[in-house]
């Protein structure tokens, strides 16, 4: 082999060696980074995992008293508490002592009082868990499992602005009807072999009841915030019009954001940042129906935007 050929061959081998070396080092670095990512992910999962157990640690208070003490202007529940699982367990198991029609709104819900006097909101199952509603983004009934998923996403993102939500099965015949008010009881009916009710709301109709599987109904239970923290409703500055062919101002006015930033409560404090957080939150849960939002009353824009009604 001539010298020139040997030099070329040596150069080729050297290049192959260098690329191999770099590739191996990169792989090692990537593997190490991947392992660290996996460990961080497992630590996060461990921190988010909640055991639904009835026992309360280090306290003689009821789960309802504990949950009420958690609420402060910028969070509904703390980042880390050993009592979270016990409160959620109580929500899913405590005896129902009263049932009434839900608070005013567009969607069917029931207001339940659990043993110990705690109010919760029950949203019945209207669709299978994996059912996709076609049509407008805000079309269809509320989805009970969307409320559950939204609460856990709120925990993952570290917002802690959504009230606690759990899934629960209730027996409409034995748990609800015996303690129901006349107003709620008057909306019960039987469809085939299934117990159903249609409640009272803007869009509640006798022709569109929510039906159990026999007597057993799946739904979501949302913890009512303490009465010492009254809520104030605000129109969302980026709400839609809900009218075909009519655009909201933010959809055509490029100066709209500047105008919002000069308007109270968005001209100071954290409210505008909360709006941005909520936009990300709504995108992730697929909620296109945030036409209003709630904060604590008389807060002058200092409290959080509370993530209520996340079932769209």
CB 125 within 8 A of CB 131: no
CB 300 within 8 A of CB 271: no
167 backbone dihedrals φ, ψ, rounded to 5° = -85, 150
Which member of 154, 274, 282, 289 is catalytic? Answer: 289
What angle is formed at CA 207 by the lines to CA 206 and CA 211, rounded to 5 degrees?
80
DSSP state of 289: -
Which parts are annotated binding residues for Mn(2+)?
142, 309
Please give the structure tokens belonging to residue 184.
Answer: 């709620």
Residue 237 has, within 13 A of its CA and on its CB side, a CA count of 22
Any catalytic annotation for residue 289?
yes
Residue set of the binding site for ATP: 107, 123, 222-225, 294, 309
What number of other Cβ atoms are within 10 A of residue 213's Cβ? 12
**Nearby residues of 300 by Cβ (< 8 Å), 6 or more positions away:** 265, 269
Whether residue 294 has a cis bond before it, omega within 30° of 0: no
Query: Per residue in 98-131, is it b (16+ CB within 10 Å) or e — as a string?
Result: ebbbbeeeebbbbbbbbeeebbbbbbbbbeeeee
Q: Which residues are catalytic?
A: 289
């Amino acid at each position: 082999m001539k010298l020139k050929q040997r030099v070329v061959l040596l150069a080729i081998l050297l290049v192959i060696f260098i690329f191999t070396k770099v590739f191996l080092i990169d792989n090692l670095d990537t593997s190490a980074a991947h392992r660290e990512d996996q460990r961080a992910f497992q630590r996060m999962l461990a921190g988010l995992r909640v055991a639904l157990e009835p026992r309360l640690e280090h306290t003689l208070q009821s789960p309802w008293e504990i949950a009420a003490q958690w609420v402060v202007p910028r969070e509904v529940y703390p980042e880390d508490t050993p009592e979270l699982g016990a409160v959620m367990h109580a929500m899913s198991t405590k005896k129902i002592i009263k049932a009434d029609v839900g608070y005013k709104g567009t969607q069917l819900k029931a207001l339940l009082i659990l043993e110990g006097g705690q109010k919760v909101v029950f949203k019945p199952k209207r669709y299978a868990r994996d059912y996709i509603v076609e049509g407008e983004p805000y079309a269809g009934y509320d989805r009970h499992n969307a409320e559950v998923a939204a609460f856990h996403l709120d925990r993952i993102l570290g917002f802690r602005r959504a009230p606690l939500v759990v899934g629960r099965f209730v027996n409409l015949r034995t748990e609800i009807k015996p303690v129901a008010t006349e107003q709620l009881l008057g909306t019960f009916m039987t469809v085939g072999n299934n117990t159903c009710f249609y409640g009272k709301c803007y869009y509640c109709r006798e022709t569109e009841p929510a039906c159990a599987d026999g007597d057993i109904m799946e739904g979501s239970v949302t913890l009512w915030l303490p009465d010492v923290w009254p809520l104030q409703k605000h129109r969302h500055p980026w709400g839609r019009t809900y009218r075909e062919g009519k655009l909201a101002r933010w959809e055509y006015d490029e100066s709209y954001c500047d105008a919002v930033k000069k308007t109270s409560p968005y001209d100071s404090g954290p409210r505008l940042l909360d709006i941005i957080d909520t936009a990300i939150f709504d995108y992730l849960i697929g909620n296109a129906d945030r036409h209003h939002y709630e904060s604590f009353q008389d807060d002058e824009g200092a409290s959080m935007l509370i993530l209520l009604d996340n079932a769209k």
